Amino acid sequence: MDPDVLEFLAEKQRVNIIPTINSNVIHLISGDVGPFRAGLPVQVPLWMAVNLKQQQKCKIQAPDWMDVDVLETIKDREKVSRNFIKMPSEHYMVEAKLLLSAAPDDIPRTDEIRTIIKDIWDMRMSKLRASVDSMMKESGSYAAVDNLTIMEINSIRPILPHALDQLYRLKKAARMHGSTQSQNTTTFNSRLTITPFKS
């Protein structure tokens, strides 16, 4: 999956907006939204919030966690903890990106928030890479990682499973070493570049 798809998924997340229009209930496949009463907060999907904001038809209320102080504590905890800590939102990166770009005037201290979220992201990614690295070095074949968000998982998605896959095959090949060369020639061929290191 690529980030666009994830963004699409994240757009189902609900956020609070203050509409500046009056409108009846909007019936959608995923459920009803509204009614919209000017000035009164209402919950809508993220994509609709962004869309309405672009049309200047609402003000977006930042989610509770999108606050400098809250994020600062999350960042500190993330720094101290060896493991990943639970993020306030499964799609925090997408939400932050969309909301901060769509409604910088509705959310106070956008720049700081953006920086902190980026920091958190970097921290988590380096943590993730480090743990993958150690796993590889210790030639472990599996590891349990909690509290990763889908975007983070996705960032190591193509490379890690494939790397593990390759390792597995190499190991398998090594185990078979000595016996007759294996069945799958294509695989074997494709591994040819790597095998010298291993054997």
Partner 1 sequence: MGINLLPVRYGHYEGHTDICFSDDGDKLLSCGADGEVRIWNGFDDDDPLQNCIGEFALCIKHKGEHIFVGTNTNLVQQLTYPNGDRNGILTRFTAHVNHMYISEAHNWIALASEDMTVKVMEISTKETKTFTINGPPLSVSLCKNLKNLAVSCGDGKLKIFNIEDQSLIKEISVVAKANSFENAKELCRIDFDQKYNKYFAYPDGNKISILNISDWNEAFTLSTDAIDSNYSLVCFSPCGNYVAASTLDGNIAVWLLRSQTIVGFEKQSDIAITSLAWNPKGNGELAFADAQGNVGMATNCTETGADEDDGDIPDEEGAIEEQNYESENIDFGDVQIEAEDDDEDNENAVSLEKLKKEIMGPLEPELEAIEAAASRSPSPRARSVTPEIPLQPAFMPSSTPEHLDPRYMCYNEVGIIRCYGCNLDDDDDGTRSIEVEFHDSQIHSSMMIRNYKGYTMGSISTAALAVANNTVIHVVPLGSSSEEWHLVLEDDEEIVCIAASHNLICLATANYFVHVSTIFGIQKAVISVPGPILTMSAIGMVLIIAYHSTSTRKGDQCVETMLVKFEGTTIENRDMKVALKPGSKLQWLGFTDVGTPAMMDSTGMVYLHPLQCNLWIPFCDTKKHHKSPSDGFFMTAIYESLGTIRGIRCKGSLYPGFTPRPTLTEIEFQPPFLEIGTGKSQYESSLFTMSTLQIEGMEKKYQEIALKSFALAMKNNLEKRAVEFMEMLGNPQLLNLAVKYASKFDKRRLVEKLMDVASKIDADADPPTFNGSSVSTPSTNVIKPNKKLLLESTSKILNKSKSQVSTPTQGTPSSSMINNTPSTSIISTPGNITLSDISILQDEPKNPFLKSLKKTQTSAFNPLSLTDKFAGIEKENDSVKSEKRKQPDSSPSEKNKEKQRKLDRFMFSKRN
Q: Which residues bind partner 1 (CB under 8 A)?
A: 18, 20-22, 24, 27, 29, 31-32, 38-41, 56-57, 59, 61, 108, 158, 162, 190
Q: Looking at beta carbons only, is 123 or 169 nearer to partner 1?
A: 169
C-beta separation of 107 from 60 below 8 A = yes
Q: Looking at beta carbons only, is 38 or 136 nearer to partner 1?
A: 38
Task: Please give the Cα distance from 147 to 137 (Å, whole number).
Answer: 23
Q: C-beta of 5: minimal distance to partner 1 in Å?
A: 11
Q: Looking at beta carbons only, is 72 or 119 nearer to partner 1?
A: 72
Q: C-beta of 41: minimal distance to partner 1 in Å?
A: 5
Q: C-beta of 58: minimal distance to partner 1 in Å?
A: 9
Q: C-beta of 38: minimal distance to partner 1 in Å?
A: 4
Q: Looking at beta carbons only, is 27 or 175 nearer to partner 1?
A: 27
Task: Please give the Cα distance from 45 to 11 (Å, whole number).
Answer: 6
Q: Looking at beta carbons only, is 43 or 147 nearer to partner 1?
A: 43
- Which residues on neighbouring strands pair with residue 59, listed in sequence order? 18
Q: C-beta of 178: minimal distance to partner 1 in Å?
A: 28
